[in-house]
Amino acid sequence: MRHLKTIAKALISIGLFSYLIVSADHKQIALVFGNVYRADGLTFIFLALLAYLSSIGLMAMRWQIILKSYNLKFRLSQLFGFYLVGLFFNNFLPSSIGGDIIRIYKVVGESDDRTAGFASVILERVLGIASTLFLAITSLYYVSQYFEDDRILYTSIALFGLIVIFFILITRDRPFEFFLKVFDKLSILNIGEKINKLIESIHILKEKKEVFIWVFVLSLFSQIAIVFLNYFVVLALNIDVDLIYLFLVVPVTFIITMLPSINGVGVREYGFVFFLAAVKVSSAAAISLSVMNVLIPMFISVWGGVLFLTQRNRTKIDEVKAIERNL
**Residue 18 C-alpha from the chain's centroid:** 23
25: helix, coil or strand?
Answer: coil
The residue-averaged pLDDT of 285-313 equals 83
Higher pLDDT, 44 or 286: 44
Please count the CA atoms within 13 angstroms of the CA of 104 that sit on its side-chain side: 27
Q: How far apart are CA 79 and CA 225, in angstroms?
A: 18
Beta-carbon contacts of residue 77 (< 8 Å; ≥ 6 apart): none
**What's the pLDDT band for 218 if we cut at 50, 70, 90?**
very high
Q: DSSP secondary structure string, 183-231?
A: HHT--GGGHHHHHHHHHHHHHGGGG-HHHHHHHHHHHHHHHHHHHHHHH
pLDDT, residue 109, reads 79
Residue-wise pLDDT tens digits, 30-84:
778 788 887 788 899 999 999 999 999 999 999 999 999 888 889 999 999 999 9
Longest dimension (CA), the chain: 64
* H/E segment holding residue 14: helix 2-24
**What's the pLDDT band for 229 if we cut at 50, 70, 90?**
very high
Going by C-alpha positions, the residue among 32, 50, 41 that lies closest to residue 239 is 32
Indicate if the pLDDT at residue 232 is higher than 90.
Answer: yes
Residue-wise pLDDT tens digits, 74-86:
999 999 999 998 8
Note whether 289 and 237 are within 8 A (CB). Answer: yes
Q: What Å distances lie between residue 306 and 85, 109, 205, 316, CA to CA?
A: 8, 19, 35, 16
* H/E segment holding residue 38: none
Indicate if the pLDDT at residue 104 is higher than 90.
Answer: no
Going by C-alpha positions, the residue among 150, 149, 148, 153 that lies closest to residue 135 is 153
Most confident of 8-22, 83-97, 137-151, 172-186: 172-186
pLDDT, residue 54, reads 96
Higher pLDDT, 320 or 32: 32
Q: How far apart are CA 278 and CA 29, in angstroms?
A: 19
92: helix, coil or strand?
Answer: coil
Q: How far apart are CA 197 and CA 266, in angstroms?
A: 35
Q: Is 244 exposed, middle or buried (0-12, 13-18, 19+ CB in 10 A)?
A: exposed
pLDDT, residue 46, reads 95
Higher pLDDT, 22 or 294: 294
For residue 191, which amino acid is it?
Answer: I
Q: How far apart are the first and last CA of the chain?
A: 16
**What's the pLDDT band for 135 if we cut at 50, 70, 90?**
confident
pLDDT, residue 75, reads 92
Beta-carbon contacts of residue 214 (< 8 Å; ≥ 6 apart): 62, 65
- The proportion of the chain whose per-residue pLDDT surpasses 90, expressed as a percent, equals 17
Rounded to the nearest 10 degrees, the angle between the axes of helix 114-143 and helix 41-69 is: 130
- Range scoring the smallest mean pLDDT among 162-171, 231-240, 318-327: 318-327
Q: How far apart are CA 83 and CA 256, in angstroms?
A: 23
pLDDT, residue 317, reads 54
pLDDT, residue 94, reads 47
Note whether 222 and 58 are within 8 A (CB). Answer: yes
Residue-wise pLDDT tens digits, 174-196:
888 888 888 777 766 567 776 77
Indicate if the pLDDT at residue 322 is higher than 60.
Answer: no
Q: How far apart are CA 188 and CA 194, in angstroms?
A: 11
The residue-averaged pLDDT of 268-286 equals 82
Phi-psi region of 280 (alpha: psi -120 to 50; beta: other; left: phi over 0): left
Q: How far apart are CA 62 and CA 208, in angstroms?
A: 14
For residue 140, which amino acid is it?
Answer: L
Going by C-alpha positions, the residue among 120, 166, 170, 162 that lies closest to residue 137 is 162
Domain boundaries, the chain: 2-326
pLDDT, residue 230, reads 94
Tell me the average pLDDT of the chain. Answer: 78
- pTM here? 0.81
Q: How far apart are CA 221 and CA 217, in angstroms?
A: 6
Higher pLDDT, 142 or 4: 142
Indicate if the pLDDT at residue 3 is higher than 70.
Answer: no
pLDDT, residue 249, reads 83
The residue-averaged pLDDT of 267-272 equals 78
Residue-wise pLDDT tens digits, 196-209:
777 777 777 777 77
Note whether 273 and 286 are within 8 A (CB). Answer: yes
